[in-house]
Amino acid sequence: MKILIVEDEELAVKKLHKMLLSLEKDIEVLANTDSIAASVEWLKKNETPDLILMDIELLDGQSFEIFNQVEVKSPVIFTTSYDEFALKAFKVNSVDYLLKPIQKEDLAAALDKYKKMFGAAAPAPSINMEMLVKELQQKLQPTSFRKRFLVKNVQKLVSIETDDIAYFYSDGRLNFFKTFDNKKYVVDYTMDEMEEMLDPERYFRISRSFYVSISSVEQIHDYFGNRLILTLKPAVDKEALVSREKVTEFKKWMGK
């Protein structure tokens, strides 16, 4: 098995090289490239390797750019320090990805998956690397959340920083938010629309009609029907109930 390593950390290359040789006797590491430019040049000038181990972050940018500059005919196992959950779907559809620091057992499993997909006895795999790279790029794009809301206050419009908002809620007709200094405003978005606007690290949708900031939760109490009831700051003029199907997720969110 002939392998190209695309990695810009010298220690990571040495460790990867050592692990590969300890796992497979017939592995030949053809080269190590440490940048987009070097990788593109090598792929243009050399025969196609059986497999590429490719770090996402390189000296001169993200390795996705390699696919824009040269046709990559080899299957690729990505190595990355990114969050595991952001890449879970990609693992199902591609050869694999490995989280740094790479563990020997994870590398062994990835190589085994490669052999099952691309070995002599395996049917020809239908992997569209271009599509998968685009999918991975999208998953790793930093999400931009709303920083402020423009709302009406008497006869004028005011801009309220999202960081100043304690919670959002609906009375069935209108949607509101209340700031930490206890001011209430009507907001011209549905609760579903706000799901895309609010940072899930800071805001949690406890029910169909309520989003709370983690900083607004003062007390949590058990409530009948396997629900929870929250005491919020500032006080709210309706019950802040965590619906039964949201309780487990809410507890995980509060305990991060």
Q: How far apart are CA 58 and CA 38, in angstroms?
A: 11
**What is the band of 93 on the pLDDT scale with cuts at 50, 70, 90?**
very low
DSSP letter, residue 106: H
Q: How far apart are CA 141 and CA 56, in angstroms?
A: 13
Q: Give the per-residue pLDDT at 75.
A: 86
DSSP letter, residue 101: S
Residue-wise pLDDT for 28-58, tens only, equals 999 999 999 999 999 999 999 999 999 988 8
Q: For residue 215, what are the contacts with CB-CB under 8 A and spacing of at least 6?
A: 166, 180, 202
Which carries the bigger pLDDT value, residue 26 or residue 89? 26
**pLDDT over 50 at 187, yes or no:** yes
Q: For residue 25, what are the contacts with CB-CB under 8 A and spacing of at least 6?
A: none
Name the least confident of 86-100, 158-172, 200-214: 86-100
Q: How far apart are CA 150 and CA 162, in angstroms?
A: 10
Q: Give the per-residue pLDDT at 170.
A: 93
Give me the phi and psi of 41, to 5 degrees please: -60, -45
Q: Give the per-residue pLDDT at 251.
A: 93
**What is the band of 185 on the pLDDT scale with cuts at 50, 70, 90?**
very high
Which carries the bigger pLDDT value, residue 107 or residue 94? 107
**pLDDT over 80 at 109, yes or no:** yes
Structure-token match 């243009």, residue found: 44
Q: Give the per-residue pLDDT at 253.
A: 92
Q: How far apart are CA 68 and CA 175, in angstroms?
A: 45
* Structural domains in the chain plus CATH codes: 2-140 (3.40.50.2300), 148-254 (2.40.50.1020)
